[in-house]
Amino acid sequence: MSEVRDPRWPERVEIYDTTLRDGSQREGISLTVADKLKVAEQLDHLGVDYIEGGWPGANPKDAEFFERAPAELRLERSQLVAFGSTRRAGVKADEDEVLRNLVKAGTPVACIVAKSWDYHVTEALRTTLDEAVVMVSDSVEFLHSAGLEVFVDAEHFFDGYRNNPEFALRVLRAAHEAGASRLVLCDTNGGTLPHDVEQVVAEVRAALPDAGLGAHFHNDTGCAVGNALAAVRQGAVQVQGCINGYGERTGNANLTAIIPNLTLKMGIDTVPRDRLELLFPVSHHIAELVNLTLDPQSPYVGTSAFAHKAGLHTSAIARARDAYEHIEPDAIGNLTRFVVSEMAGRSTVAMRAKDLGLNLSDETVTDVLDQLKTLEHAGYHFEVADASFELLLRTAAGWTQEFFALESFRVIVEKQAGGEVTTEATIKLQTRGERVIATAEGNGPVNALDQALRLAIGQAHPALSGIHLTDYKVRVLDTHKGTGAVTRVLLDSADEERSWSTIGVSENIIEASWQALSDSIVHGLLAAETSEDPPAG
Ligand SMILES: [Zn+2]
């Protein structure tokens, strides 16, 4: 991990976030105005320089966002940007609706998109190249004279430059001379590769040495982050992108990778140093707000980004973390995780036991490893069932659960011809020295068993009412023996403070479900009852 900046690179690069405009073009993202305000708050928290709020006047939602933002957003560090386009062909700038809406939005900065590919001017705008250039300078001058700082997004710049470099540069020069402080080279179709980016940005910089260049990339070749870094190497001082790489098609340049790459790897200042550790929480918070599960393999901020599975690694990492991790995960708010599997060695088991405050002898650790191998061969998968693994370790250390001891259960599923399916479960168990029999109905076998168990022990263990099952996944596995399939059940549970996962495996789905359910309830009660005072009497 080096932090030595090449003196030819800029000392600082502005981070311009367009999650609220370009990012929300992603399929599946639909933000309310309240959501947009919350996303902006997170971005300010992280300390990006610019937050593009949307296109005022293009739709009622964006107009409302800019109306509410001044009162409801207390931005500490970020500046809000309104997005729009140059004036239309043949219309005066001060009579152009889009430009007037930009002024009305009341932001300190406006960013306008300009056509820089001649083909789009003649085909989409259906006007002359000369008029297209004047449209840019008129629009920049108008906004500038209204007191706004102006950025110009040169749309399709890389494709345009390849086809007609002279026109593409004319557009940039017009924007620059009219007072635009950033000329943003956009790879709108997303097909450009890093070596082309380096070359084009270098040529633009030679042609316009005084201009402040920015870069806006889409990830259609999987190179958006690399392209942004390439542009910076050639002197771009602003990078536009989205948190978690959200955006249309394959997404925009991913700021959650660009920010740490620039700061930690290239030694270039981006967000304030003391806020870099907010990258992980902000990325996950925004994923929640846009209601998308973050890919665990996301660079830097994924939950698997610093997860280690191999046993050899875990023992070595315990000694020298930097030998196996490209950065210190806490620098960006993530953490090292040791994943339990049969591949993992003694040190993983020993470390997890230590985390739980358990003292396991070498002999016990060996037993646990043997047990893990057998169980994983049978279809258990403890990487995704932290709570079941914890119970296994506690049991190995000599603990036994005293919440209940099952005597038997029976589940009846009844289907009336042409009618409903009903399920009933009866459970017999010992709890607090008493024998209890409880029967309950449910909307399926697992639900009925859960209800019956709660009925049987709920009074003795009031914390049970705060424990909920949140997800239930079933998978049929091929067995190695070829005697038939086994079923693996994964159960997610939660109380007010935490969530946990448990597992059950059996040839019988109800037995597999019972194992997962029983582990879930035991783990939940153990956590709840050890964190509160023991009940009196
Ligand atoms: Zn874009």
Question: At 330, is the secondary structure helix, strand, or coil?
Answer: helix
Q: How far is the CA of 216 from the centre of ligand 1 (A)?
A: 7
Task: Please give the distance, rounded to the nearest whole angstrom, from the Cα atom of residue 373 to the centre of ligand 1.
Answer: 50
Pair (284, 419) in one structural domain: no
Q: Please give the Cα distance from 440 to 411 (Å, whole number).
A: 10
In the prediction, which pLDDT does 313 show? 63
| CATH number of the domain to which 436 belongs | 3.30.160.270
Q: Report how far ligand 1's centroid is from the alpha carbon of 250 (Å).
A: 11
Tell me what pLDDT residue 86 has.
Answer: 97
Distance from residue 215's CA to the centre of ligand 1 (Å): 10
Residue 444 domain flag: yes
pLDDT at residue 165 in the model: 97
Q: How many whole angstroms from 185 Cα to the centroid of ligand 1?
A: 10
Distance 21 CA to ligand 1 centre (A): 9
Cα of 136 vs centre of ligand 1, distance in Å, is 18
Residue 24, exposed/middle/buried by CB under 10 A (0-12, 13-18, 19+)? buried
Close Cβ partners of 488 (under 8 Å, ≥ 6 residues apart):
379, 380, 381, 474, 475, 476, 477, 503, 504, 505, 512
Q: Which of 271, 289, 307 finishes a domain?
A: 289
In this prediction, residue 57 carries a pLDDT of 79
Task: Tell me the two tokens of residue 392.
Answer: 């296994």
Same domain, 73 and 215: yes
Cα-to-centroid distance, 278 and ligand 1 (Å): 25
- 247 C-alpha to center of ligand 1: Å? 8
**Measured in angstroms, how far is the CA atom of residue 281 from the centroid of ligand 1?**
25
User: 253: CA distance to ligand 1 center in Å?
Assistant: 9
pLDDT of amino acid 535: 43
Taking the centre of ligand 1 as the mean of its atom positions, its distance from the CA of residue 153, in whole angstroms, is 9
Distance 84 CA to ligand 1 centre (A): 13
Interval between CA 22 and ligand 1 midpoint (Å): 6
Rounded to the nearest angstrom, the distance between the alpha carbon of 64 and the centre of ligand 1 is 22
Q: How far is the CA of 187 from the centre of ligand 1 (A)?
A: 7
Number of alpha carbons in the 13 Å side-chain half-sphere of residue 231: 31
User: Which of 228, 259, 289 is where one domain is finished?
Assistant: 289
Contact 422, 414 (CB under 8 A): yes
Tell me, in angstroms, the distance from the centre of ligand 1 to residue 237's CA: 18
Residue 96 near residue 88, CB atoms below 8 Å = yes
Q: Are 239 and 225 contacting, i.e. CB atoms less than 8 angstroms apart?
A: no
Estimate to the nearest angstrom the gap between the alpha carbon of 98 and the chain centroid.
33
Q: Are residues 57 and 204 in the same domain?
A: yes
Distance 255 CA to ligand 1 centre (A): 13
What is the crossing angle of helices 386-396 and 509-530, to 10°?
70
Measured in Å, residue 516 CA sits from the centre of ligand 1 at 46
Residue 382 pLDDT: 83
Does any domain span residue 353?
Answer: no
User: Which pLDDT does position 289 carry in this prediction?
Assistant: 87
* Strand partners of residue 429: 406, 436
Residue 58: the pLDDT is: 83
Distance 82 CA to ligand 1 centre (A): 15
The CATH number given to whatever domain includes residue 189 is 3.20.20.70
In-domain check, residue 471: yes
CA of 191 to the centre of ligand 1 (A): 12
User: What is the distance between the alpha carbons of residues 55 and 102, in angstroms, rounded to a whole number?
Assistant: 8
In angstroms, what is the span from residue 18 Cα to ligand 1's centroid? 8
CA of 217 to the centre of ligand 1 (A): 7
Euclidean distance between the first and the last CA atom of the chain, given in angstroms as a whole number: 58
- Residue 374 lies inside a defined structural domain of this protein: no
CA 200 – CA 172 distance, rounded (Å): 13
Position 371 in a domain: no
Instruction: Give one word for 9, left, alpha or beta, with left for phi > 0 and alpha for psi -120 to 50.
Output: beta
78 Cα: distance to centroid of ligand 1 (angstroms): 20
Amino acid (1-letter code) at residue 523: H
| 203 CA distance to ligand 1 middle (Å) | 22
- C-alpha 155 to ligand 1 mean position (Å): 8
Same domain, yes or no: 228 and 89: yes
Q: Which two tokens stand for residue 233?
A: 């190497």
Contacts of 339 (CB under 8 A, 6+ apart): 307, 308, 309, 348, 383
Distance 252 CA to ligand 1 centre (A): 7
- pLDDT, position 219: 98
Cα 266 to ligand 1 centre (Å): 25
Confirm whether 177 is domain-assigned. yes
Whole-number pLDDT of residue 352: 85
- Whole-number Å distance, alpha carbon 50 to ligand 1 midpoint, is 15
Tell me the CA–centroid distance for residue 190 and ligand 1, in Å: 9
Ligand 1: centre distance to CA 353 (Å): 49
Of 269, 289, 309, the one marking the end of a domain is 289
Residues 61 and 188 in one domain: yes
- Per the domain annotation, does 385 fall within a domain? no
Degrees to nearest 5, angle at CA 507 with 502 and 508 = 75
For residue 133, tell me if it sits in a domain: yes
Per-residue pLDDT of the chain (537 residues; tens, 9 = 90+): 457 899 999 999 999 999 999 999 999 898 999 999 999 999 999 999 999 999 997 888 999 999 999 999 999 999 999 999 999 999 999 999 999 999 999 999 999 999 999 999 998 888 999 999 999 999 999 999 999 999 999 999 999 999 999 999 999 999 999 999 999 999 999 999 999 999 999 999 999 999 999 999 999 999 999 999 999 999 999 999 999 999 999 999 999 999 999 999 999 999 999 999 999 999 988 988 888 878 989 999 998 899 887 666 667 777 777 888 899 999 999 988 777 665 556 777 888 888 889 988 989 998 998 898 889 888 888 877 889 999 999 999 999 999 999 999 999 999 989 888 999 999 999 998 999 999 999 999 999 999 999 999 999 999 999 998 888 888 888 655 555 688 999 998 988 878 889 999 999 999 999 999 999 999 999 998 877 544 443
Residues spanned by the domain of 506: 405-530
How many domains is the chain partitioned into structurally?
A: 2
